[in-house]
Structures are given as C-alpha cells and as structure tokens.
C-alpha cells in the first residue's frame, strides 16, 4: 500500500456551531469549560495528541495548552490561549497563538483571549450563571498517583476538576460527559471520511502484523510490523501500541497487566498457540481499532477451528443485524442466538455454544471509534455511528478475539476494515499468501 500525505481533519464552522449549540442547550445553567492538552508529547509516542473533547468542539488539533469556554447565557464561545509551549525548556515560538493569531483562527470563536486574564474573567462570569462549571469526565476512572485521601497528582480530568474546585470554591463542578458522549457517538460526513481511511490503513497494518506471526517470533517483532504497516499506509503511526499477545498473554487479565509491565509481557511464539492481534492506526486526528486471532502455526488446529468458526458465525449475525434504531443489546442478542442455533444444528458444537452464551464466557463488546480509538458508546445505533464490534472468549490458554470498524448506514451497516479473513479456512489462506 503506497504512503500518502495526510492533512489534519478540520470541521466546518457550521459543524462546530452545531456541536456547541447542542452542548449549550443541554447545560444552560453554567459555564462550559473544555481544556486542551497542555502536556508535551511523550518520548515514546509517535506524535502529540490533542485532548479529544477539546478537538471535537474547537476544531483545533494543533494548539497546546488552550481552553475553550462556552457561555450559554450569552451564547458566546471564547478561546483562551496560553504562552508558547516549551520542550526541553525551549519555547516553541511557532506555536505562540499571540504572535501567530492564525493558529487559533480555525476555532471560529467569538473572541480569543490570553489565558493570563482567565481567572478574573471566570470570577466575573460565574455569579451570572449560578456558579456552575461544567467539565467533561473520563471514559474510565483515572489513576490519581497518590493514596486515597490525598489530592491527585495524575489524571487530566482529575487535576482540572481539583484546580477548578480550589480556584472557585463557591462554584459547583458538574460533569457533562453524558452529553459529550451522545454528541460524539454519531459522526459527521467529514469524520467518517477520516475514519474510513484509518480503517483501510489499520486493516493493512493488521495484515502486516498477522503475516509476521510465526514460530520463534517475539511479540515485539510482530508489533514492529504493525507500526511499520501503519506508516506505510500513510498513517501518522499507531493510535495505541499494538497488542500482539500470544498464548496466555491473550487473556484479558494478562493483557491489561501489560500496561504496568516493563517488558509488556513479551513472549516468543510457539507452535499451536494463538495470537490476539488488536491494533489501530491514527491519521487526520482520528484513530482506528481492528483485530483478529492469528494461529502461530499458520492454521488453526481442528479444535481451535471449531471455536473460531462458531464465533465467526455469531459475529457475522451481529453485523447483519445492525441498523439504525437497534439497541446495542439487540446486536449482542443476534450473535448469541446464531451461536445457540449452531449448537442445535450440530450437537458436537452444543458445549461450545453454551460456553459462548454463558455470562462468564464471550464478551460481545461494542465501542465507538472517533478521535479516540475507543469511545463510550451511545444507547442505540444511528446512521453515522462508527463503532468497533469485538467479541472475545478464553478457552484454556487460547484467547479468541476479532474486531472490525463498522459504519451504520441508513439501511444497515458497512464494514470499513475490509480485506481481512473470517473463517478458519480464510485465515489459513490469508497467512499462506
């Protein structure tokens, strides 16, 4: 796949105004604060990433340390810009919005002010809006970095909330996460364009990682193939570090342990084992998330193939059921129903069907894909939703898992991450190319 230059996606003025209007309508009794990312890029990250909610409502993916404030009382949007950021202690004057106002021009704000006047500006505005401040909340609990009872030293959202409570003790800080979740759940046409491109890049990178799997290969080598695949496909890099977890590492408990393990639980692949491949590429300010289960030996064993093919049957039934207005639980129910039918049609699969449908068995996980590779889902499917459907089940040391990026259309669903194998036979043929 040839590389191409990707420009950062920017929403139109009308699109930004519509997003902000809906947010202000839902939270008319307070000031709405949307902070940007003020921290520098980590040395291990492929690129600097803006705070997702700030990017969604400001359209600015490049401006560090800014703050967007929406005032429903006046229907005004104010962008506060900080001083030039610094890396290694060196100010980056090219990112100083005061010296280069065109940097902030894409935000379409009613006014652009320096963050130096923010404290006084907030104090003047708060009494007029019932002293309520709305702030986004994280998708999952953030680590605070300290024992219980102490003020946080880690956590983007936690630190902002603590700062606001300390700076404005008479104000009430409330979460607007539910409104933000609903708005970000349905994507605009321009967002779908970016996500479609990222799905293609991610499918390519996943294919490269899958073909790198083999006996005697380390997880790290397969991860490197995925990263190279993202770059070759024109992406900026991985949207999260690839999970090419082999054998017992593929189980979810070991998987999440990798976040706090220096070696990321690196293992050498052995014949007969399975690799849980879960990867994503980022580009245009948006992410990706696609996965498959890869047999190290190039083909599933007969026992593994029975599990995999039954999982695929249920998975495809869930995809076929997707349409606007359908609750997420109905998608999962369609998958479970088809697996139960498979057990009825073939008594040799009955025990497997029960395992797939047990409460402690397969997890038919659904999440949104957007600026972040994993976003909190909404309550039901709507045209314009881009999601990832990712069931997973562990039997012994074998973790079975797959995932596609899907866009919901007016009449059904379209898989964006095309060209990847489903059945055990398709998998063997794909790996043999």
Write the pLDDT tens digit of every residue in 310-325: 999 999 999 999 999 9
Residue 347 has a CB neighbour count (10 Å cut-off) of: 9
pLDDT at 43: 81
Instruction: Average the pLDDT over 33-59 and give the result.
Output: 92
Picking from 156, 148, 401, the residue whose alpha carbon sits closest to that of residue 279 is 401
For residue 340, count other CB atoms closer than 10 A to its CB. Answer: 17
> Which structural domains are found in the chain, ordered by start?
13-184 (3.40.350.10), 186-432 (3.90.230.10)
Mean pLDDT of 410-417: 97
Q: Taking Cα atoms as reference points, which of 355, 353, 318 lies closest to residue 335?
A: 318
Percent of the chain at pLDDT > 90 equals: 80
The predicted pLDDT at position 311 comes to 96
What is d(CA 127, CA 31) in angstroms, rounded to the nearest whole number?
Answer: 10
- Burial readout 82-102 (b: 16 or more C-beta within 10 A, e: otherwise): bebbeeeeeeeeebbbeeeee
The per-residue pLDDT for range 206-231, each reduced to its tens digit, is: 999 999 999 999 999 999 999 999 99
Lowest mean pLDDT among 51-55, 96-100, 279-283, 381-385: 96-100
Residue 121 has pLDDT above 80, yes or no: yes
For the stretch 57-73, pLDDT in tens is: 999 988 999 999 999 99
375: which strand partners?
368
Q: Mean of the pLDDT values across residues 87-115? A: 90
- Rounded to whole angstroms, the Cα distance separating 158 from 185 reads 23
pLDDT in the model for residue 163: 95
Instruction: Flag whether pLDDT at 8 surpasses 70.
Output: no
Provide the pairing of β-strand 132-135 with 76-81. Answer: unpaired
Please determine, for residue 246, whether its predicted confidence score (pLDDT) is greater than 80.
Answer: yes
Burial pattern 374-403, b for ≥16 Cβ within 10 A else e, equals bbbbbebbbebbbbbbbbbbbeeebbbbbb
pLDDT at position 2 is 42
For range 1-27, the mean pLDDT: 80
What does the chain come to in residues?
Answer: 433
pLDDT at 1: 47
Q: 414: which strand partners? A: 407
Weakest-pLDDT range from 6-20, 145-159, 245-259, 338-352: 6-20
Q: What is the reported pLDDT for 180?
A: 97
Distance CA 319, CA 298 (A): 26
Average pLDDT, the chain: 93
Read off the pLDDT band of 359 (50, 70, 90): low
Cβ burial of 56 (10 Å; 0-12, 13-18, 19+) is: buried
């Amino acid at each position: 796949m040839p590389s191409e230059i990707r420009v950062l996606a920017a929403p139109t003025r009308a699109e930004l105004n519509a997003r902000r209007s809906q947010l202000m309508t839902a939270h008319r009794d307070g000031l709405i604060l949307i902070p940007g990312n003020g921290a520098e890029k980590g040395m291990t990250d492929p690129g600097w990433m803006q705070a997702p909610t700030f990017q969604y409502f400001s359209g600015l993916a490049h401006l560090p340390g800014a703050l967007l404030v929406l005032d429903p009382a006046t229907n005004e949007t104010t962008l506060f810009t900080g001083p030039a950021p610094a890396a290694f202690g060196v100010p980056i004057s090219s990112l100083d919005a005061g010296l280069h106002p065109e940097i902030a021009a894409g935000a379409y704000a009613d006014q652009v002010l320096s963050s130096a006047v923010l404290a006084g500006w907030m104090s003047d505005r708060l009494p007029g809006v019932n002293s309520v401040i709305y702030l986004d909340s994280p998708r999952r609990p953030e680590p605070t970095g300290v024992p219980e009872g102490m003020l946080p030293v880690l956590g983007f959202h936690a630190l902002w909330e603590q700062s606001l409570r300390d700076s404005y003790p008479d104000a009430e800080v409330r979460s607007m996460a539910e409104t933000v979740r609903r708005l970000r759940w349905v994507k605009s046409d321009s967002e779908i364009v970016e996500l479609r491109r990222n799905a293609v890049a991610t499918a390519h990178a996943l294919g490269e990682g899958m073909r790198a799997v083999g006996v005697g290969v380390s997880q790290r080598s397969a991860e490197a193939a995925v990263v190279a695949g993202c770059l070759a496909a024109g992406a900026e890099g991985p949207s999260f570090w690839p999970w090419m977890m082999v054998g017992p590492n593929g189980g979810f408990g070991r998987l999440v342990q990798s976040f706090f393990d220096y070696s990321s639980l690196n293992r050498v692949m052995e014949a007969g084992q399975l690799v849980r491949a879960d990867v994503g590429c980022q580009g245009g300010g948006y992410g990706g998330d696609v996965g498959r289960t890869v047999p190290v030996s190039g083909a599933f064993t007969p026992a593994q193939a029975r599990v995999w093919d039954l999982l695929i049957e249920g998975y495809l039934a869930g995809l076929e059921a997707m349409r606007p207005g359908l609750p997420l639980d109905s998608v999962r129910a369609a998958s479970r129903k088809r697996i139960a039918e498979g057990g009825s049609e073939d008594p040799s699969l009955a025990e497997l069907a029960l395992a797939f449908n047990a409460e402690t068995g397969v997890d038919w996980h659904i999440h949104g894909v957007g600026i972040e590779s994993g976003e909190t889902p909404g309550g039901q499917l709507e045209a314009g939703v881009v999601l990832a459907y990712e069931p997973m089940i562990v039997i012994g040391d074998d973790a079975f898992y797959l995932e596609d990026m899907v866009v919901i259309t007016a009449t059904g669903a379209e898989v964006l991450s095309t060209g990847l194998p489903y059945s055990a036979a398709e998998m063997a043929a794909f790996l043999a190319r």
